[in-house]
Structure 1
Amino acid sequence: MRVDFYLLETASAEQATAQLARATLGAGERLLVVGAGDDMDRALWEEFPQHFLAHGRADGPHAERQPILLAPDCAAANGARYVLLADGQWREEALGFARAFLLFDDTTRAGARDTWRRLGNEAGLERNFWRQESGRWIKQA
């Protein structure tokens, strides 16, 4: 199990989600996006116009067929092994996935720090911390 923490300083949650979704699909995986705002759907269409980031909502038709599924909780109707927590709020159910992405900003930084410390005690769990520099995500820890 791997948990990646992404500090949003210059990128929005929508931009970071589109970047991570693109990489996830490139790795042949499906993604569950939890806690996404209303702008997430549009961002997945528009952030990379040259790439098609097919997605749908958990309450929409054919949710089980969507490579990227926007959902209010960690129920992966699409069979995703990767989960992205777009609202900066950790959910313990994320530990049931092969990989979790936690996006956080200044308003959710304290919670992310607490989660980082708590997950440090989990056996077999890899943690990574990323921040943006010059538009690129750089691993910090």
Structure 2
Amino acid sequence: MGAAFFYHLTQRPLEATLPMLLEKARGAGWRVAVRGTDEGRLDWLDERLWQGADDSFLPHGRAGGPHDALQPVLLTSGAAGNDPQCLMMVDGAEVSPEEVGALERVCVLFDGGDPQAVDRARDQWKALTGAGCAAQYWSEASGRWEKKAESG
């Protein structure tokens, strides 16, 4: 059974944090799906991932292409078509306890400067831990990532 890791972004924006987490997941040998709520925002993230650091290359694709199943990282607003072991949720995207249980890891990234995003993440934490999912809450408020809470 997997676990949900909540990442409270306060120092670095999503476009800086997401590539770091994707690299770690890929380093573990996992296929990853990034689930968002808005196609325009996913297009924006797609561009940012292609414009990564000069010394890095993060292969990925947008859902709806002919090779979704082959993508090591797939950006989608729906079901993951690449059989991922890790699912990264952005912009308040939905995740179910069943998905958490079926995957190695689910990451929920949320903007600490957006009160609605923080409330949404709290609701997701309550729903997932209430359903028996293991969860960890990570904060970068000190300038580095620290685990602040754990459940299950």
RMSD of aligned Cα (Å): 1.9
Find the aligned partners of 1:131 and 1:13 in 2 and give their Cα distance.
Answer: 13
Please report the TM-score for the alignment, with normalisation by the length of structure 2.
Answer: 0.81
Q: CA deviation digits over 1:37-82, x for unaligned, max 9?
A: 1321122123333121000011123111110001111x22111111
Q: 1:20 to 1:46 in 2, by over 3 A?
A: same
Stretches of structure 2 lacking an aligned partner (at least 5 in a row): none
Task: Kindly indicate which of the two structures has a greater share of residues assigned to helix.
Answer: 2
What is the letter of the counterpart of residue 104 of structure 2? A
Please tell me whether the aligned partners of residues 89 and 111 of structure 1 are also in contact (alpha carbons under 8 angstroms): no
| 1:100 maps onto 2:109 in alignment | no
Aligned to 2:139: 131
Please tell me whether the aligned partners of residues 30 and 81 of structure 1 are also in contact (alpha carbons under 8 angstroms): yes
Find the aligned partners of 1:94 and 1:8 in 2 and give their Cα distance.
Answer: 23
- Residue 135 (structure 1) shift: 4.7
- Residue 85 (structure 1) shift: 0.7
Q: 1:88 to 1:49 in 2, by over 3 A?
A: farther
Please report the TM-score for the alignment, with normalisation by the length of structure 1.
Answer: 0.87
Aligned to 1:79: 83
Please tell me whether the aligned partners of residues 18 and 43 of structure 1 are also in contact (alpha carbons under 8 angstroms): no
Number of residue equivalences: 139
Stretches of structure 1 lacking an aligned partner (at least 5 in a row): none
Please tell me whether the aligned partners of residues 10 and 141 of structure 2 are also in contact (alpha carbons under 8 angstroms): no
What is the letter of the counterpart of residue 148 of structure 2? Q
Q: Among the aligned pairs, what percent are the same residue?
A: 37
Find the aligned partners of 2:49 and 2:61 in 1 and give their Cα distance.
Answer: 10
Find the aligned partners of 1:67 and 1:26 in 2 and give their Cα distance.
Answer: 11
Aligned with residue 47 of structure 1, among 48, 52, 62? 52
Aligned to 1:110: 119
- Residue 138 (structure 1) shift: 1.8
What is the letter of the counterpart of residue 40 of structure 1? L
